[in-house]
Amino acid sequence: MYFASDNSGPVHPHILQALTQANTGYALGYGADAQMETLRDTLREVFEAPEAAVFLVATGTAANALALATLSQPYQTVFCSDVAHIHEDECNAPEFYSGGAKLTLVPCGDKMTAQGLRKAIEAEETRGVHGPQRGPVAISQVTERGSVYSLEELRALTAVAAEFDLPVHLDGARFANAMVALDCTAAEMSWKAGVDAVSFGGTKNGCMGVEAVIFFDPKHAWEFELRRKRGAHLFSKTRYLAAQMLAYLQQDLWLDNARKANGNSAYLAERLRQAGAEFLHRPEANMIFASLPRASHQRAFDAGASYHLWDAPLQGPGDEMVGARFVCDWSISREQIDQFLALI
Amino acid sequence: MYFASDNSGPVHPHILQALTQANTGYALGYGADAQMETLRDTLREVFEAPEAAVFLVATGTAANALALATLSQPYQTVFCSDVAHIHEDECNAPEFYSGGAKLTLVPCGDKMTAQGLRKAIEAEETRGVHGPQRGPVAISQVTERGSVYSLEELRALTAVAAEFDLPVHLDGARFANAMVALDCTAAEMSWKAGVDAVSFGGTKNGCMGVEAVIFFDPKHAWEFELRRKRGAHLFSKTRYLAAQMLAYLQQDLWLDNARKANGNSAYLAERLRQAGAEFLHRPEANMIFASLPRASHQRAFDAGASYHLWDAPLQGPGDEMVGARFVCDWSISREQIDQFLALI
Amino acid sequence: MYFASDNSGPVHPHILQALTQANTGYALGYGADAQMETLRDTLREVFEAPEAAVFLVATGTAANALALATLSQPYQTVFCSDVAHIHEDECNAPEFYSGGAKLTLVPCGDKMTAQGLRKAIEAEETRGVHGPQRGPVAISQVTERGSVYSLEELRALTAVAAEFDLPVHLDGARFANAMVALDCTAAEMSWKAGVDAVSFGGTKNGCMGVEAVIFFDPKHAWEFELRRKRGAHLFSKTRYLAAQMLAYLQQDLWLDNARKANGNSAYLAERLRQAGAEFLHRPEANMIFASLPRASHQRAFDAGASYHLWDAPLQGPGDEMVGARFVCDWSISREQIDQFLALI
Amino acid sequence: MYFASDNSGPVHPHILQALTQANTGYALGYGADAQMETLRDTLREVFEAPEAAVFLVATGTAANALALATLSQPYQTVFCSDVAHIHEDECNAPEFYSGGAKLTLVPCGDKMTAQGLRKAIEAEETRGVHGPQRGPVAISQVTERGSVYSLEELRALTAVAAEFDLPVHLDGARFANAMVALDCTAAEMSWKAGVDAVSFGGTKNGCMGVEAVIFFDPKHAWEFELRRKRGAHLFSKTRYLAAQMLAYLQQDLWLDNARKANGNSAYLAERLRQAGAEFLHRPEANMIFASLPRASHQRAFDAGASYHLWDAPLQGPGDEMVGARFVCDWSISREQIDQFLALI
């Protein structure tokens, strides 16, 4: 009954096998190995982007912070949702990597609208040299609240960015979950929708610790390489990052895992709904924000369930509804979900 | 015949097995898993330092840059050898992580002397607010040229630092190789010798990608945690870092691997000496800097040997001596070495 | 008819005379001159703070950014009003000087309330190492909208900061104007109200270009000195900064100038009120935010008046009310004000 | 008898008068005043560079650090003399403003040679992504040891920079003194000699506190403006900076002052030579590094002379020679010099 995060489950067996298979003989380090070369080609195919610059790092924060630093200047501001991971959960990593750029929060609580984004952009850079200058637009897909932007919504956001000549970064820590939810291609959800750079997550969907950064315009490649090395995110034994990501992409493992995670989440959401849960956001991928009676949470925790309460402590006098976040990964079994549902 | 680096060989089978064993069930992320807790205790035992603060990162540059940033201020200068890895091979990571501190290079070409270090320290901070202020002393053990500071030499350096009230960091990317060379304990080569913080390497000695940072005074712990997260070096699935490092420390695998690597290196060095090689530095651990006739290099490369030439191109008219760096890891076989020696 | 800013008027003659008087003979640079020594004592007396550390810089942004950098850490967030000068008008200088700290905006549009500040503080640092850590509280007095915090309001804000053990900085670019408005002492409006550091402005109130930074706890002194030098804000010929500030403080010139500026503003505000202007904020010092009919603005601009429209362009179809900002300094004459009033 | 620095003397009366004359009526701030516009044109004429971007700041360190930050990237290294002001006397300001770039010191002790510079450049960027990348070349003219590069020497240095496609910055804190020493034009000593950006000093040669930064390629203009504001070096009352610099340039005041300073220095040097002083560097502008017997220093200090000893304390047993630095500015009188000479 582990719904705490999609990074608390085990690594998919295929990924582990790939590490073992990669572990033969000698290989040059720092990205000069053969697997890394294969991986670059594979990701370019997946994204239908033969010119794309492709890099690997080991954490999602590194992917986001390095990508945004490459796309921005320190006297600019990055536009993002007011609940964006880069704002709430990276301990100022974007500010650090960009050399002190600002984040301008678009009030939305989940998904930015084109209108909200435009308003935020228009409000900046009205003071000439005095205020921050307009910088990249950063979009999370899946969002931090479990929503998914439709392709129309994505395109509307990037159209606003294009109007102001601003680059667009997509935080795809749960890229595969979003793709599966939208039933679209990787290209459709990225460059075809006006996205310039993607953090393409593997860690939350079955890998051990690997994320790709993809720039569709390769002009950013060398600067990114230098920023990655300077940020201490260039691995010496890159073959073990490449091997993970290759196994992840082979035989649609990434999409299969995402389908399982989303399916588990849909199943759990439907049962929660029947049990009277109130939803704080509409669950569209593999995360659910829902309120349950306090006593239900207590029973679940007493039985060993693991998940995060949201915005409210468990303690309290009555039996009011208390919000919680439930995340399903590929490895959760129906039995676990049913066991949990039986408790609440 | 791979002598390019001790990061080009495979991961030790025990480390891979540990990853597999760690891959069962659910575990909280970000250092809250049980293996990470065990690892902290194990490293404290290894270093005889029950109060020490212990952290894991995945690259040596991250370990060094984060440790130095924690020990320094941006208006200070770090004292190090003029061939230190932090100066030559980290693309300004120490300057980045420290917020713009300077490195003051102690001229030495390999090992700093206490006298040279004192001279460098005395020359700084003579200008009040105008110049950089004195900051940490950074020592590499094994050095970047394959030498090893004796405990006496280490203590002499840290005594100079203590005189000026400066903290001392030890870049132990090859900590085990140095310990084996000195036949001493981890405590003797660190806090008992006046060292305040250690980058304790695993990657170059059989791990996949893991380094520990150890502060003997735990007052630095929370700041380091925040700097690590801000630097995007906090892994979500930390159990796989901890599992590597635990397997590395169990049953003396780390020391066995280092003994093998040093032994391979000693064997190669002795044979090179007999073959007429000239040594640029005295090989004391698992790296050899030696000159061979150009034709010997050519034959080796033609036969597929892999290693780095040093300070000189291979092309040239005559058959003069050309310097090269040979690094042995634990996995090199005597057959490989003999095969290489037969060529030159 | 210049109401554009209190930095567009001339320097007060006494300040200029002081520069001339300071211009005799030789004086050591970088703060070692006699006038600087006198100035330190004078400011300590003015603030009834014999231990205070006192520094001069030449711009308000330097004063704010250096003070906040000294009080914060790069992994923290600074709490301030959503219209704070440090957020809107310093092109990311606080982020730059702090090494990438964040600003958390307290929604208020002008003056923070203790309740609003507490809510903002409570919302941060709920995510352990993942989010930014709580840092200084920054208060502007006079505010950017021409309001003045009462001593009670100030104390309520600093009490919240103290509850969370956070230091408090006061941006006093218009410190004298606020003091005059409150009819209080410098000590009452600073350390007696719980403020730890003050940017004490001179430039907007008759000086040529000088601001003091005052830390009531001198433990910050040396760090501030180093940060100032590193930021290139240590002047060589400091006697000319000290001479300005000394003349400013002598014979109550600073308070006289502020009384004139506030008086001019009150006179203008009263007449605007009678003329039917609508006030966007209550004018309490020397700035007025008021709406006038479009045609009135047009007549004023045609006649050479200088001031900033606020949040709205002048162009438009009808004759609706258009907001504007009017700033009075000490040098504005009643004739100028009357001339302007006659136009609108 | 003040030879401590060319920033310890008074401001030239013409400069003070200009401040008084500028002090009439209202002027828009932040560089939008009429004097600033005139100053831009004047400096473009002085440098025969009609397209040049021209900015004012108040300190030499600001000029240098902002110019270098604009010309560099944080993963690069700046090449400079091992006694450069930017290295020894700016408390890491270049590292701060550049976001953590490194300085590579060319060993020379005073003037870099083309050969030494090339060697330093060639030694960097040999490690691909691992080491710092090559960045700007920074030259001080007058040097920190009182020497002056001939135009040939300057061109030889910039030719090396051009070979590697690196921009060149000239720290001209004593630009006028060097021009007078070389009897050349401003253009000849800057863009005609291959220089891309100049810090053009006023403060050390009669101004109160003003330095210009000039980019001969205006493409850098907007970035510099933003970096200046972000660095808190944009003055609100810019007219008083512009007025100083205008008065400085009018009627050849800058060159007259420099001629006086250099003349005073030559006179002092000649007399010191006759008195048996040993010169540590050849005095070519307005600074002298010379050794005198300890007793001579003692007599001078006892009589109130002010200057810096160099590399050695005054205390000591015998009467050996002790090095000192003597700086002459425009305001030193022959009487002062003779008075000093009579003592030693």
Give me the mean pLDDT over the C111-117 stretch.
Answer: 98
**Residue in D90, D91, D102 closest to B92 by CB:** D102
Listed as ranges, residues in chain A with pLDDT below 50 are: none
| pLDDT attached to residue C36 | 95
Which residue of C73, C77, C78, C92 to mutate against A (max A Cβ within 10 Å)?
A: C92
Beta bridge partners of C212: C56, C200
- Inter-chain residue contact B100 with D89, CB threshold 8 Å: no
State residue C214 phi and psi, 5-degree precision.
-125, 125
- Inter-chain residue contact B26 with A8, CB threshold 8 Å: yes
Alpha-carbon D310 to chain mean position? 19
Q: Closest approach of chain D CAs to the CA of B90, in angstroms?
A: 5
Residues of C in contact with D96 (CB under 8 A): 230-231
Tokens of D43: 């400096």
For residues B208 and B103, the answer to whether their CB atoms sit within 8 Å is: no
Give me the mean pLDDT over the B175-179 stretch.
Answer: 98
Which residue of A2, A6, A7 to mutate against B (max B Cβ within 10 Å)?
A: A7
Instruction: Check pLDDT > 90 for residue D314.
Output: no
Instruction: Check pLDDT > 70 for residue C305.
Output: yes
Which residue of D72, D88, D90, D95 to mutate against B (max B Cβ within 10 Å)?
A: D95
Q: For chain A, list the contacting chains (3+ Cβ pairs, <8 Å).
A: B, C, D
**Confidence category of residue C21, pLDDT binned at 50, 70, 90:** very high
Alpha-carbon B1 to chain mean position? 23
| pLDDT attached to residue A312 | 67
Tokens of B151: 């405990």
For residues C208 and D240, the answer to whether their CB atoms sit within 8 Å is: yes
Each residue's pLDDT tens digit, B144-164: 999 999 999 999 999 999 999
- The domains of chain D are located at 13-251, 254-343
Instruction: Check pLDDT > 80 for residue D315.
Output: no
**Residue in A99, A130, A229 closest to D129 by CB:** A229
Tokens of A25: 């003989």
- Inter-chain residue contact D230 with A75, CB threshold 8 Å: yes
For A63, how many CA atoms within 13 A lie in the half-sphere containing its CB? 31
Cα separation, C92 vs C87, in Å, equals 7
State residue C154 phi and psi, 5-degree precision.
-60, -50
- Inter-chain residue contact A92 with C102, CB threshold 8 Å: yes
Beta bridge partners of A279: A290
Each residue's pLDDT tens digit, D246-261: 999 999 999 999 999 9
Q: What is the ipTM of this complex?
A: 0.97
State residue C251 phi and psi, 5-degree precision.
50, 35
How big is the A-C interface in CB pairs under 8 Å?
64
Measured CB to CB, residues of chain B less than 8 Å from chain D are 74-77, 88-92, 95-96, 98-103, 105, 127, 129-133
| pLDDT attached to residue A167 | 98
Buried-exposed string B243-261: b where 16+ CB fall within 10 A, e elsewhere: bbbbbbbeeebbbbbbbbb
| pLDDT attached to residue D126 | 85
Residues of B in contact with C227 (CB under 8 A): 75
Q: Closest approach of chain A CAs to the CA of B152, in angstroms?
A: 32
- Inter-chain residue contact B28 with A4, CB threshold 8 Å: yes
pLDDT above 90: percentage of residues in chain B: 93
The CATH fold of domain D13-251: Aspartate Aminotransferase; domain 2 (3.40.640)
**Residue in C73, C133, C229 closest to B129 by CB:** C229
Query: Which DSSP state fits B158?
Result: H
Which amino acid type is present at position C171? Answer: D
Buried-exposed string A24-52: b where 16+ CB fall within 10 A, e elsewhere: eebbbbbbebebbeebbebbbebbebeeb
Terminal alpha carbon distance of chain B:
12
Compute CA distances A10 → A6, A238, B27, B244, D71, whole Å: 9, 21, 8, 15, 48
Going by their DSSP bridges, the two strands A211-215 and A197-201 should be labelled as: antiparallel
Query: Which DSSP state fits C123?
Result: H
Each residue's pLDDT tens digit, B10-59: 999 999 999 999 999 899 889 888 999 999 999 999 999 999 999 999 99
- The helix/strand/coil state of D93 is helix
For residues A303 and A1, the answer to whether their CB atoms sit within 8 Å is: yes
Instruction: Check pLDDT > 90 for residue B315.
Output: no
| pLDDT attached to residue C310 | 86
**Residue in B30, B75, B230 closest to C75 by CB:** B230
CATH of B13-253, one of 3.40.50.720, 3.50.50.60, 3.40.640.10, 3.40.109.10: 3.40.640.10
| pLDDT attached to residue B32 | 87
For residues B42 and B270, the answer to whether their CB atoms sit within 8 Å is: no
Q: Which residue of D has its CA nearest to B73?
A: D92
For chain B, give the longest Cα–Cα distance: 63
**Confidence category of residue B312, pLDDT binned at 50, 70, 90:** low
Instruction: Check pLDDT > 90 for residue B132.
Output: yes
| pLDDT attached to residue A305 | 94
- The helix/strand/coil state of D78 is strand
Q: Closest approach of chain D CAs to the CA of A161, in angstroms?
A: 21
What's the Rg (C-alpha) of chain A? 20
Cα separation, D242 vs D36, in Å, equals 5
What's the Rg (C-alpha) of chain B? 20
- Inter-chain residue contact A234 with D129, CB threshold 8 Å: yes
> Could you tell me if residue D251 is left (phi over 0), alpha (psi between -120 and 50 degrees) or otherwise beta?
left
- List of E strands, A132-218: 133-140, 168-172, 197-201, 211-215
**Residue in B7, B57, B236 closest to A29 by CB:** B7
Each residue's pLDDT tens digit, D197-237: 999 999 999 999 999 999 999 999 999 999 999 999 999 99
Each residue's pLDDT tens digit, D129-181: 999 999 999 999 999 999 999 999 999 999 999 999 999 999 999 999 999 99
| pLDDT attached to residue C312 | 67
- The helix/strand/coil state of A137 is strand
Beta bridge partners of A54: A214
Cα separation, D76 vs B274, in Å, equals 43
**Confidence category of residue C125, pLDDT binned at 50, 70, 90:** confident
Length of chain C: 344
Q: Is D6 exposed, middle or buried (0-12, 13-18, 19+ CB in 10 A)?
A: buried
- Inter-chain residue contact D75 with A226, CB threshold 8 Å: yes
Residues of A in contact with B92 (CB under 8 A): 230
Cα separation, D323 vs D316, in Å, equals 13
Residue entry with tokens 């005559």: B318
Which residues, 6 or more positions from A25, have their beta carbon under 8 angstroms from its beta carbon?
Answer: B10
| pLDDT attached to residue A13 | 97
For residues A305 and A235, the answer to whether their CB atoms sit within 8 Å is: no
- Inter-chain residue contact C91 with D230, CB threshold 8 Å: yes
- Inter-chain residue contact C129 with B99, CB threshold 8 Å: no
Going by their DSSP bridges, the two strands D287-293 and D102-106 should be labelled as: unpaired
DSSP result, C166-222: --EEEEETTHHHHHHHHT--TTTTTGGGT-SEEEEE-GGGT-SS-EEEEESSGGGHH
Residues of C in contact with D226 (CB under 8 A): 91
| pLDDT attached to residue D31 | 86
State residue A340 phi and psi, 5-degree precision.
-65, -45
- List of E strands, chain D: 53-57, 76-81, 102-106, 133-140, 168-172, 197-201, 211-215, 278-279, 287-293, 308-309, 321-327
The model's pTM: 0.97
Residue entry with tokens 């003999």: B338
Q: For chain D, list the contacting chains (3+ Cβ pairs, <8 Å).
A: A, B, C
Stretch (H or E) spanning B291: strand B287-293
Which residue of B85, B87, B92, B308 to mutate against D (max D Cβ within 10 Å)?
A: B92
For residues D107 and B69, the answer to whether their CB atoms sit within 8 Å is: no
For domain D254-343, the CATH superfamily is Aspartate Aminotransferase, domain 1 (3.90.1150.10)
Cα separation, B35 vs B25, in Å, equals 13
How much of chain A is helix, strand and coil, in % rounded to 5?
A: 45, 15, 40
Tokens of B216: 């003997």
- Inter-chain residue contact D89 with B132, CB threshold 8 Å: no
Q: Is the dihedral of CA C1, C3, C6, C7 positive or negative?
A: negative
Q: Which residue of D has its CA nearest to C307?
A: D28
Which residue of D230, D233, D234, D238 to mutate against A (max A Cβ within 10 Å)?
A: D230
Each residue's pLDDT tens digit, C34-50: 999 999 999 999 999 99
The CATH fold of domain C13-252: Aspartate Aminotransferase; domain 2 (3.40.640)
Cα separation, B228 vs B239, in Å, equals 17
| pLDDT attached to residue A318 | 75
Q: Closest approach of chain C CAs to the CA of D4, in angstroms?
A: 8
Mean pLDDT over each residue of chain D, to the nearest integer: 96
CATH of A255-343, one of 3.90.1150.10, 3.40.50.720, 3.40.1160.10, 1.10.10.10: 3.90.1150.10
Instruction: Check pLDDT > 80 for residue D312.
Output: no
Q: For chain B, list the contacting chains (3+ Cβ pairs, <8 Å).
A: A, C, D
| pLDDT attached to residue B1 | 84
Which residues, 6 or more positions from A170, have their beta carbon under 8 angstroms from its beta carbon?
Answer: A138, A139, A140, A141, A189, A190, A195, A197, A198, A199
DSSP result, D31-77: T-SHHHHHHHHHHHHHTT-TT-EEEEES-HHHHHHHHHHHH--TTEE
**Residue in C30, C99, C223 closest to B99 by CB:** C99
**Residue in D100, D129, D229 closest to A129 by CB:** D229
Each residue's pLDDT tens digit, D276-301: 999 999 999 999 999 999 999 999 99
DSSP result, B36-52: HHHHHHHHHHHTT-TT-
